[in-house]
Amino acid sequence: MTLMNSSSTQMYQWMKDLFPLCRSITGEGVRDTLKYFRKILPDLIIHEVPSGTQAFDWVVPDEWIIRDAYIKDESGKKIVDFQKNNLHLMGYSEPINEWMNLQQLNEFLYSIPEQPSAIPYITSYYKKRWGFCLSYEQHLALKKGNYHVVIDSEIKAGVMNYGEIIIPGKSSKEIFLSTYVCHPSMANNELSGPIVTTALAQWLSSSKELEYTYRIIYVPETIGSILYLSKNFDHLKENVIAGFNITCIGDERCYSYLPSRDGDTLSDKVSLHILKHIDSNFLSYKWTDRGSDERQYCAPGIDLPIATIMRSKYGEYPEYHTSLDNLDLVTEKGLEGGLMAIKSAISVIEENKFYIATVLCEPQLGKRGLYPTLSTKNTHKQVKTMMNILTYCDGTINLLEIAELINEPFLELVPIIEKLKEFELVSECDPVIKK
């Protein structure tokens, strides 16, 4: 597959357009985000599931509707304003319209003394409460007195939305890509995932011949993935051969890998191979470091082959779940690098096949024009790589396993194997069982 890149400038513009929206696990923010992506991906289907729907051990919650929220001092000045930054309001806050003194108000205020300029991200989805988030600097500046606290919200029966697009390939076997759309204004932890996923969907949709079918979903984290599994588990279990949870993929600091619970799936092998050749210093985490929707996809009894390729992992960078996770942290270059990593992983899965040599002993490469007439250090390496591929083409191992054995990037072997196929020195085959 050609790794032509979606414009990083285009991805960053999507990021800027969507960053201000107040997303949660339900509500207009999610719907507006999905509608935005549907303009880019016309085949994206937006589903809705009524509140109260059972999903394994969970129930789809009531919908949260938020119109405005603020705290005013006695002079009428807004000292905390949801309209200026939607992180100022605890997610799923119930309505209130009361005056209270500072001592009373402090019980409902959240800040981070260790990060005095940061507004924390706080939610309370499944227990009714309210609260405001502000920087520690703002918190310290509050003076004794009375404050008018207003939250214009509703929590009532409604729907939860998620998006789904299926891109057919030659095989009914599927690659599963999942990202989440439930956090407000945070760039790496939230928006980088759906942004990169949308660029991937564009790229896959434009590919002329896909080996596999691609199932791509945009869900609210946790409840969305659980709901999706409850509706589609039998199909996924039968058809998904690999997949990735896509999140935290937009900064420039590092690459990270989180394994599936099994740790040895095709997704794991591809992730490790790709990242090793992109950046040998990538960070490798353990399954016990999990924290996103891989928890659901790899849960006991579910056991889908889902791994995670990230830039800076959630929970491991200082700006995580604060207002500092902003449009300065995520960059065009970071998004481009994240996109290319997952594109490369998908390309490996698409191109990974078994091959068998068609001649006995080493073939005579010179008469086919495959052996250079002028010997140089570089041409020697090319020939050695070609011969190393041939020596392992016995049909018992696939091209990814060969790439690992000879310690070469998989995608650099693809044009070589194509040349060997052109000269009928190897042919694709079903896996051969060693006797």
- For residue range 108-142, what is the model confidence (pLDDT) as tens digits? 999 999 999 999 999 999 999 999 999 999 999 99
**Tens digit of pLDDT for each residue in 159-172?**
999 999 999 999 99
- What is the chain's length? 435
- Quote the CA–CA distance of 144 and 64 in Å, as a whole number: 32
Which pLDDT band, with edges at 50, 70 and 90, does 414 fall under? Answer: very high
Q: How many CA atoms lie within 13 A of 107 on its CB side?
A: 6
**Tens digit of pLDDT for each residue in 284-324?**
999 999 999 999 999 999 999 999 999 999 999 999 999 99
Say which residues have a Cβ less than 8 Å from residue 422's Cβ, sequence separation at least 6: none
Show the tokens assigned to 398: 């696939």
C-alpha triplet 258, 342, 160: angle, nearest 5°: 75
Question: What DSSP element (H or E) covers 44?
Answer: none
- Signed CA dihedral, 357, 360, 362, 364: sign only: negative
What is the DSSP code (8-state) at residue 20? T
Separation of first and last alpha carbons in the chain: 34
Which pLDDT band, with edges at 50, 70 and 90, does 7 fall under? Answer: confident
Q: For position 75, what pLDDT does the model report?
A: 96
pLDDT, the chain, mean: 96
Q: What Cα–Cα distance (Å) separates residue 409 from each residue in 186, 204, 275, 385, 412?
A: 34, 22, 10, 11, 5
